[in-house]
């Protein structure tokens, strides 16, 4: 018998997977006919897009250039995202507080100050109750998070309170399954999507992401092999709606001994991804029909390729998400001790100069296809975001995405949120990171 729990609460999710792939599909022939302009077809190594060329619709190899990537410039200037804090965030005059001006004198205090600021906002904000979630658990699945569904619900509510006042999803669907239940999960999602009349393209793409949570990751969003090790998680904006889908692989190798999983940090991570894309809810560019569907009406693409460099796209969820799930500083410290080298150790040599280049030189149109650079967002990006939280609080990080939804590029949004140029701030952050990595020890070989 299928276990299904439906609950109503103030919570919502959206996408961390940004590329879709099928290890079994044959690629369309370039130049061959297709039916719907803007439709995508993915294989493990290549993405194809249906393009209008004269009177014909044909398949072409897709590349993420500004011409075909959702961009801030396409956003109507009259769209205003919700921002519950005053911008730019004021820098404290108290020398005991951490600011851009004195952060290099307070490096050892950053983790505790950032964690405490998250707890303070959660405690101060009320809970909103208009958002619903629906949780489906596979019939043979044991949940990895200690405390099960009640604990997951608690973490979701804490996330919602932290970002109360920003735009959040109206409803979302949460799917939890192990390898044995993976076929069930695909079928369950298909039934849900059909009942809610979600677009067919999304239904098929999400089934690939559900499978990908149990497959080997080849590159960001690209998976291969049999679905046997369910350690992945994914959140996805649902096109032409204010809803989102959230899927968790369960029971994967090592999950039971990973505090990131058992404490629910991964839940906070995926929820934060939800919020990044949710800031585009209400933007007229984010809605379309199946006949007019393109990347620009997919909120997840708008927040990723359209706005966000990779370091903060993964760094924000991988720092703030676990802080939400860690209700004691000792718990956050346990998670954080494994954080510095979660990504590859070959993209940067962890000196100030190379860290500055990593942060400042990222292109939103290319970094999502560079697996090693992208993965470094889970470590270097998380530590950079942690410093930003210590300086200006957690809500400022999401305000960046709200301004992105209004049409600002990342550098402009950063200056308007923090009152300092991204060039100057990235120099300061790279000095902080270099000092921190000097204390972490050499990267593993």
Share of the chain above pLDDT 90, in %: 60
- Residue 47 falls within a domain, yes or no? no
pLDDT of residue 26: 57
pLDDT at 335: 94
Q: Is 259 helix (H, G, I), strand (E, B) or coil?
A: helix
Rounded to an integer, the average pLDDT of 164-189 is: 94
CA distance 214 to 247: 11
Q: Is residue 258 part of a domain?
A: yes
pLDDT in tens, 408-435: 999 999 999 999 999 999 999 999 999 9
Burial class (CB in 10 A: 0-12, 13-18, 19+), 337: exposed
Domain assignment present for residue 346? The answer is yes
Element (H, E) at 351: none
pLDDT, one tens digit per residue, over 358-411 is: 999 998 888 988 888 999 999 999 999 999 999 999 999 999 999 999 999 999
Return the pLDDT at 24: 37
Question: Each residue of 225-248: pLDDT tens digit?
Answer: 999 999 999 988 888 889 998 899
The C-alpha atoms of residue 46 and residue 38 are separated, in whole angstroms, by 16
Query: For residue 23, is it within any domain?
Result: no
Q: Residue 441's pLDDT is what?
A: 82
Q: What's the first-to-final CA gap in the chain, in angstroms? A: 47
pLDDT score, position 293: 76
Helix or strand holding residue 375 (H, E) = helix 371-375
**Does residue 41 lie within any of the structural domains?**
no
User: 3-state DSSP call for residue 311?
Assistant: helix
- Structure confidence at residue 31 (pLDDT): 85
Say if 65 falls within a structural domain. no
Domain assignment present for residue 279? The answer is: yes
Contacts of 445 (CB under 8 A, 6+ apart): none
Residue 217 has pLDDT above 70, yes or no: yes
Number of domains in the chain: 1
7: part of which helix (H) or strand (E)?
Answer: strand 3-8
Which residue range(s) make up the domain with 161?
3-17+71-440
Give backbone dihedrals phi and psi of 19, rounded to 5 degrees, phi first: -130, 145
pLDDT tens for each residue of 276-301:
999 999 998 888 888 887 777 889 88
Q: Is the pLDDT assigned to residue 131 strictly greater than 90?
A: no
Beta bridge partners of 237: 244
**HSE toward the beta carbon, residue 254, CA cutoff 13 A:** 4
Q: Is residue 7 part of a domain?
A: yes
Residue 365 burial (CB count, 10 A): 17
Q: Residues 241, 360: contact at Cβ < 8 Å? A: no
For 304-360, what is each residue's pLDDT tens digit?
889 999 999 999 999 999 999 999 999 999 999 989 987 778 889 999 999 999 999
């Amino acid at each position: 018998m299928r276990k299904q729990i439906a609950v109503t609460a103030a919570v919502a999710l959206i996408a961390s997977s940004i590329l879709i792939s099928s290890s079994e599909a044959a690629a369309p022939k370039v130049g061959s006919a297709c039916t719907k302009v803007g439709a995508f077809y993915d294989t493990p190594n290549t993405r194809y897009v249906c393009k209008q060329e004269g009177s014909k619709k044909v398949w072409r190899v897709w590349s993420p250039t500004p011409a075909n990537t959702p961009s801030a410039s396409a956003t109507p200037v009259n769209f205003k995202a919700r921002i519950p804090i005053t911008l730019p965030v004021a820098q404290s005059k108290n020398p005991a507080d951490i600011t851009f001006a004195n952060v290099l004198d307070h490096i050892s205090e950053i983790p505790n100050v950032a964690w405490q600021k998250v707890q303070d906002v959660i405690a101060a904000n009320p809970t909103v109750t208009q958002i619903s979630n629906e949780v489906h658990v596979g019939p043979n699945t044991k949940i990895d998070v200690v405390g099960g569904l009640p604990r997951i619900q608690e973490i979701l509510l804490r996330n919602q309170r932290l970002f109360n006042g920003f735009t959040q999803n109206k409803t979302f669907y949460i799917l939890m399954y192990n390898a044995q239940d993976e076929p069930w999960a695909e079928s369950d999602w298909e039934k849900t999507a059909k009942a809610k009349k979600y677009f067919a393209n999304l239904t098929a793409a999400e089934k690939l992401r559900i499978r990908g949570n149990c497959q080997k990751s080849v590159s960001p969003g690209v998976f291969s092999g049999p679905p046997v090790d369910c350690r992945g998680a994914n959140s996805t904006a649902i096109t032409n709606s204010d809803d989102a889908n959230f899927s968790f692989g369960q029971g994967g190798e090592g999950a039971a001994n990973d505090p990131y999983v058992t404490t629910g940090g991964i839940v906070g991570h995926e929820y934060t991804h939800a919020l990044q894309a949710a800031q585009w809810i209400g933007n007229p560019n984010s809605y379309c029909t199946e006949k007019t569907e393109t990347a620009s009406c997919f909120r997840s693409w708008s927040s990723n390729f359209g706005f966000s460099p990779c370091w903060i796209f993964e760094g924000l969820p991988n720092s703030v998400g676990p802080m939400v799930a860690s209700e004691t500083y000792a718990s956050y410290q346990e998670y954080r001790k494994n954080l510095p080298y979660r990504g590859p150790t070959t993209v940067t040599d962890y000196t100030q100069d190379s860290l500055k280049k990593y942060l400042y030189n990222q292109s939103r149109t290319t970094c999502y296809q560079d697996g090693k650079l992208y993965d470094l967002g889970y470590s270097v990006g998380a530590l950079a975001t942690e410093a930003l939280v210590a300086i200006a609080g957690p809500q400022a990080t999401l305000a960046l995405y709200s301004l992105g939804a209004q049409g600002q590029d990342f550098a402009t949004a950063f200056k308007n949120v923090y009152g300092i140029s991204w060039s100057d701030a990235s120099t300061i952050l790279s000095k902080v990171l270099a000092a921190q990595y000097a204390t972490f020890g050499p990267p593993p070989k």
